[in-house]
Amino acid sequence: MFALHYDDAAADTGAVQFGWRYCSKCSSLFYSGFPTKGRCAAGGAHVAQGFTFGLNHQAPATSSTQTEWRYCDKCFALFWNGAAAKGRCPAGAGHNAQGFTFNIPYKTAAVDPGAAVSDALASIIQADRVPIQDYLKSQLGRGDLVAKGFTLYDLNLQLGTPNFQSAGTSFNYRLPGNYLYLKSTTPTVMGSYGDPAFEIHFDVSLVGAIVRAGEHVRVEGLVASVPSITVKPRNVTGDIVTTFVHFFARTAYGGRVIQQAVDKYSRQDLTDRVNAYLQQF
Ligand SMILES: [Zn+2]
Ligand SMILES: [Zn+2]
């Protein structure tokens, strides 16, 4: 976890070069001090957003800084030049180092265990959106589950914005505002243009303990739950809404599938993967 200087009004000093910006298109850090803005992996030039960051280039490398961070004169992004391979530059071939060698301060997980656990969970859960969606599709996409003639299709899972809280050694990672979008065939002759669409909103809560082990931290006792499920119809009213509300009640089939997806996923290997991620710091 790197810790950069940021100050929108700061001028360069003998030790720090400001003018480094976040690109809202490719999410990299690039040098924005020139009239042209390099080559963005998302196409065209980088687009600066947010803070102006400053990078150390004179302070000697210490046990809490990592050196070999360099500017690429082809794409203008910051990249790590400490390996033989130079990554993949959007301007073609590998990045090409020019100018200062930056020493960037970092924090270990032990300094800020909550932030480390929060980062680990966010990164892993986001990467698993598609597998969880596939599980929900496999369980909910079978024919006639809701009622005869009602088969769910076009299932698409969207994850909400996480909210992480820790107190002492325990944490609560809440993921509110997730929803499963889906459509349903109907037993009528109206055709698919008339098919009802729903959003099945559900909150997820992950609680656990943070354990320190020297410089590293790990999590234990991870327990996931789904505190609420709400059906929001997109284009229908009436009896069919009631049918879906019943199907996705927490104790009914649809509601249980959502809870099983979260339970199965969190029990299977989430703890191991979070801990493997945390070992990197
Ligand atoms: Zn970019
Ligand atoms: Zn490059």
Residue 170 sits in a domain whose CATH number is: 3.15.10
CA of 36 to the centre of ligand 1 (A): 12
pLDDT tens, residue order, the chain (281 aa): 788 899 888 888 889 999 999 999 999 999 999 999 999 999 999 999 999 999 999 877 777 889 999 999 999 999 999 999 999 999 999 999 999 999 998 877 777 888 889 988 988 888 888 999 999 999 999 988 998 989 999 999 999 999 999 888 899 999 999 999 999 998 876 666 678 999 999 999 999 999 988 778 899 989 999 999 999 999 888 888 999 999 999 999 999 999 999 988 887 688 999 998 888 77
Predicted pLDDT of residue 192:
64
- Ligand 1 centre to CA of 43 (Å) is 8
Mark whether 122 and 88 lie in a shared domain: no
Domain boundary among 105, 132, 156: 105
Print the domain residue range for 60.
5-105
Shared-domain flag, residues 182 and 75: no
Is 270 found in the same domain as 147? yes
Domain stops at, among 80, 105, 130: 105
User: Contact, 193 vs 250, CB < 8 A?
Assistant: no
* Global model pTM greater than 0.75: no
Q: How far is the CA of 70 from the centre of ligand 2 (A)?
A: 10
Q: Same domain, yes or no, for 150 and 225?
A: yes
Measured in Å, residue 204 CA sits from the centre of ligand 1 at: 33
Q: Are residues 69 and 120 in the same domain?
A: no
Same domain for 80 and 132, yes or no, is no
Which ligand is in closest contact with the Cα of 30?
1
Query: Which one of the ligands is nearest to 80 CA?
Result: 2
**Is the same domain home to 99 and 135?**
no
**Number of domains, the chain:** 2
Last residue of a domain, one of 87, 105, 123: 105
* 138/179 same-domain check: yes
C-alpha 84 to ligand 2 mean position (Å): 15
Whether residue 223 sits in one domain with residue 124: yes
Span from the CA of 71 to the centroid of ligand 2 (angstroms): 8
Q: Does 117 share its domain with 252?
A: yes
**Same domain, yes or no: 179 and 273:** yes
Residues 209 and 122 in one domain: yes
